[in-house]
């Protein structure tokens, strides 16, 4: 049921990236199968040379160069209609946590990609520190009022990691009580931040993401930017020790400036049942317009993994080991954040 097990189409998209559609019997998705068939037998992948990189769908052979081929938007429309048909007939599958790869690949990731590429110009570094397969616990800093940093870390791994890994993040319980947000949280691969769920995901070999600062990090005022908050009670370390998976610290720079929080209206927050109600230079003054995040420059750096397996399972009962590991992870992230923050120069560099 995991993303890695499903076969992907082996053609390349117009942008030269690996096509993410599920593959049919010939190893191609429906769109590419039709497009290659339309382009004629010579243009398709040679039957003998079936490799992962057929040349047919490269930019050169797109509609622009060949006046006989249908325009590019038709392929896109075909894909969109096919997606709609699957949704209308329920022809897709979710895993036991509710992760819906079809929706992520065709709707959620494409929606976030412009933010990632153009708005925040995210630079992902150290992706080689995230294993190609098997479980690991990705631990990051958390800031920016809304959890866009979690989304961007997820997208960095999904798009830019060589194995296109899906990060299964652990989300606060509030996410599962809000209408519209609740199903989206599950479909995009989140699950409730509890030990049972996290252990189950790691046991299934998934990459699990956790942001131990929680609301304390997300809802901290702008003047405290890039100062990491307390890392919970070290629950994530206990989790890593119990399951013996490595911890990959990830440092996010840029999320602090998307909604510079000047004040927190506690009474309003209490009334709405949310952990904080931010006042930024634009929100709520400009209404919904004020909810547009600022285009800061982002750097996401994955740090070398910290192994936990050699501590043994009994280590989780030793509070000193847990405290030390928690501090080690927190310090690694704090130092990396600081280094990248200084190197970045201006906020909108």
Partner 1 sequence: MDRRILVTGAARSTGRRLVSSLAEEPEVAAVVAVDDRKPPEPLPAKVQFVGVDLRSPALVRAVQSTGIDTCVHLGATAEPLAAGGRPTMKERNVLGTMQLLAAAYHAPDLRRLVLKSTTAVYGAAPGDPAVWTEAMPHETPRHGFGKDAIEVEDYVRSFDRRRPDVTVTVLRLANQVGPTVDNPLTRYFELPVCPTVFGFDPRLQFLHEQDTVRALRQATIGQPVHGTFNVAGQGVVLLSQAIRIAGKPPLPIPEPLVGSVAELLRRTVDFSPEQVGFLQYGRVADTAAACEQLGFSPKWSSRQAFEDFAATRLRKLITEEQVARLERESLAALRRAADWLGGGTAGGGRP
Residue ranges in contact with partner 1 by CB under 8 A: 1, 38, 67-71, 73-74, 77-78, 81-82, 84-85, 87-90, 92-98, 100, 173, 176-183, 186-187, 191-192, 194, 196-197, 200
CB of 81 to partner 1, least distance (A): 5
Residues in contact with 302: Cβ distance below 8 Å, sequence separation at least 6, in sequence order: 124, 125, 126, 127, 129, 130, 138, 248, 249, 250
User: 14 or 127: whose CB is closer to partner 1?
Assistant: 14
User: 72 or 263: whose CB is closer to partner 1?
Assistant: 72
User: 174 or 265: whose CB is closer to partner 1?
Assistant: 174
C-alpha distances in angstroms, 3 versus 47, 94, 169, 241, 264? 27, 11, 15, 26, 40
C-alpha distances in angstroms, 225 versus 74, 143, 149? 46, 8, 14
Cis peptide before 136 (omega within 30 of 0): no
Cα distance between residue 138 and residue 195, in whole Å: 15
Residues in contact with 59: Cβ distance below 8 Å, sequence separation at least 6, in sequence order: 14, 15, 16
The number of C-alpha atoms within 13 Å of 248 and in the hemisphere containing its C-beta is: 24
User: 71 or 110: whose CB is closer to partner 1?
Assistant: 71
User: 49 or 180: whose CB is closer to partner 1?
Assistant: 180
C-alpha distances in angstroms, 168 versus 4, 42, 210, 243? 13, 42, 9, 16
CB of 71 to partner 1, least distance (A): 5
Which helix (H) or strand (E) element contains residue 249?
strand 247-253
Nearest CA to 183 out of 278, 111, 271, 104 is that of: 104
User: 167 or 315: whose CB is closer to partner 1?
Assistant: 167
User: 38 or 271: whose CB is closer to partner 1?
Assistant: 38
User: 63 or 294: whose CB is closer to partner 1?
Assistant: 63
Residues in contact with 229: Cβ distance below 8 Å, sequence separation at least 6, in sequence order: 213, 216, 217, 220
């Amino acid at each position: 049921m995991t993303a890695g097990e499903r076969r992907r189409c082996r053609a390349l998209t117009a942008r030269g990236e690996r096509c993410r559609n599920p593959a049919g019997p010939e190893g191609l998705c429906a769109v590419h199968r039709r497009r290659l068939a339309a382009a004629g037998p010579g243009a398709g992948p040679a039957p003998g040379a079936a490799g992962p990189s057929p040349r047919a769908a490269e930019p050169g052979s797109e509609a622009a160069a060949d006046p006989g081929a249908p325009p590019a938007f038709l392929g896109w429309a075909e894909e969109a209609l096919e997606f709609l048909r699957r949704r209308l007939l329920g022809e897709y599958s979710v895993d036991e946590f509710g992760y819906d790869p079809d929706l992520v690949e065709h709707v959620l990731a494409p929606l976030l990609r412009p933010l990632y590429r153009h708005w925040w110009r995210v630079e992902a570094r150290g992706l080689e520190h995230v294993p190609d397969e098997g479980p690991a616990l990705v631990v990051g800093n958390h800031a920016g009022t809304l959890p866009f940093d979690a989304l961007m870390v997820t997208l960095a791994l999904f798009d830019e990691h060589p194995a296109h890994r899906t990060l299964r993040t652990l989300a606060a319980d509030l996410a599962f009580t809000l209408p519209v947000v609740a199903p989206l949280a599950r479909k995009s691969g989140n699950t409730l931040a509890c030990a049972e769920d996290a252990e189950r995901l790691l046991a299934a070999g998934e990459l699990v993401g956790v942001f131990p600062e929680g609301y304390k990090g997300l809802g901290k005022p702008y003047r405290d930017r890039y100062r990491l908050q307390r890392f919970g009670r070290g629950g994530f370390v206990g989790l890593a020790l119990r399951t013996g998976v490595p911890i990959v610290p990830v440092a996010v720079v840029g999320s602090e400036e998307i909604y510079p929080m000047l004040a927190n209206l506690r009474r309003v927050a209490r009334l709405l049942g949310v952990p904080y109600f931010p006042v930024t230079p634009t929100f709520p003054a400009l209404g919904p317009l004020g909810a547009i995040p600022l285009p800061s420059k982002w750097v996401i750096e994955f740090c070398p993994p910290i192994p936990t397996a050699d501590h043994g399972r009994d280590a989780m009962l030793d509070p000193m080991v847990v405290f030390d590991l928690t501090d080690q992870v927190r310090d690694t992230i704090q130092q990396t954040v600081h280094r990248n923050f200084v190197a970045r120069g201006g906020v909108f560099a």
